[in-house]
Amino acid sequence: MNLIEAVVLGILQGLGEFLPISSSAHLLIAPWLFGWSEGTPQEKLIFDVALHLGTTVAVIGYFRHDLWRLARALFRPANPHPEDRRLAWMILLACIPGALAGALFEDVIEQSIRTRIALIAVLLMAMGIVLYLADRFGRRERHIESLGVFEGFLIGCAQALALVPGVSRSGATITAGLLLGLTREASARFSFLLSAPITLGATLWTFRHLIHSPPTADSLQVLAAGILTSGIVGYLSIAFLLRYLRTHSVNLFLWYRLALGLLVLAVWWWRG
């Protein structure tokens, strides 16, 4: 992989991880569409870890004050803000379904779905429609503080669906939040807060594969480009989406997912 490819994939990761358009789908479609070599499985794994490290730093950096406040509320015996403690426990509980699903089914999904580009295109379009319907018919009047523990857990269950390329972690959790009556901005904010521990945990968990096969010196420049690009674009994507959803619907992401899905299906059919 050269620097240009690393930067492009870093941009796609930074956009897709936080905008409801599926980063995993984009990281699979781009090499397939442009004929890029993804390297050996070990090289692909190392670069995937680098991209997720960048977006993990982005979400932790953006919400550093909120996360620090929640962490202090969780561990301080005399907590003056019980609502923060409840939210912190809710986020940790909501991470359990995604963590279990990743540990149990990641390899199965890797082998059965990630090579089926047409199926990924269909899932992109289908989940875009589901997101639109949740936005269209959700009450959009509640805030994060009104969420019950079980409702937070349900959003965490939706997050587990993000293992499937084309679903989108942020898309699934925002959809669940909208169906539970959250405002668009509240759905996105809870989605991002929920993503911080799960993406950090997933990145650290994947590092176990790199202990015996660390990246080579020649690949460090490419890895650095991927980390830096995904981190910067991810940070900007968070800021954009929170501001955008205050006054706009999710229609933009619906039309984008439909257009990309149809494009991929057309190319797939043309290539035979």
Percent of the chain with pLDDT over 90: 73
Position of tokens 């690393």?
Answer: 6
Provide the whole-model pTM.
0.94
Greater confidence (252 vs 213) lies with 252
pLDDT band at 209 (very low <50, low <70, confident <90, very high): low
**185: nearest Cα among 122, 240, 129, 266:** 240
When pLDDT is averaged across residues 195-202 and rounded to a whole number, the result is 90
**126: nearest Cα among 254, 252, 25, 10:** 254
* pLDDT at residue 51 in the model: 94
246-258 pLDDT, tens digit per residue, is: 999 999 999 999 9
Tokens at 67, concatenated:
């996360």
**Cα–Cα distance for residue pair 114/246, rounded to 1 Å:** 34
15-46 pLDDT, tens digit per residue, is: 999 999 999 999 999 999 999 987 777 788 88
Cβ atoms of residues 174 and 192 within 8 Å: no
Query: Please, what sign has the CA dihedral across residues 158, 16, 244, 199?
Result: positive
46-91 pLDDT, tens digit per residue, is: 888 899 999 999 999 999 999 999 998 888 766 667 889 899 999 9
